[in-house]
């Protein structure tokens, strides 16, 4: 149960951080893929997974 809560918290934290930074930059947050804010490179599927992509 604690493992599930940790994973859920990581996913929600990652989503909220991404959402907040896209709102500040005035970029679409549900339409476009995840990308690097410094070089605008689109992230690969395995780079989006919280904790494992750290």
Q: What is the pLDDT of residues 10-38, one digit of tens each?
A: 989 988 988 898 899 888 877 878 888 78
In this predicted structure, the answer to whether residue 46 has a pLDDT above a threshold of 70 is yes
Compute the average pLDDT of residues 32-54: 81
The segment with the largest mean pLDDT, out of 6-10, 21-25, 44-48, is: 6-10
Nearest Cα to 21, choosing from 33, 12, 29?
29
- Give 9's pLDDT tier (boundaries 50, 70, 90): very high
Q: Is the dihedral of CA 6, 8, 11, 13 positive or negative?
A: negative
- Measured CA to CA, the distance from residue 38 to residue 52 in angstroms comes to 21
């Amino acid at each position: 149960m604690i493992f599930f809560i940790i994973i859920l918290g990581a996913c929600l934290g990652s989503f909220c951080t991404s959402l907040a930074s896209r709102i500040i930059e005035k970029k679409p947050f549900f339409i476009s893929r995840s990308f690097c804010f410094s070089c605008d490179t689109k992230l690969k599927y395995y780079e989006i997974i919280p904790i494992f992509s750290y």
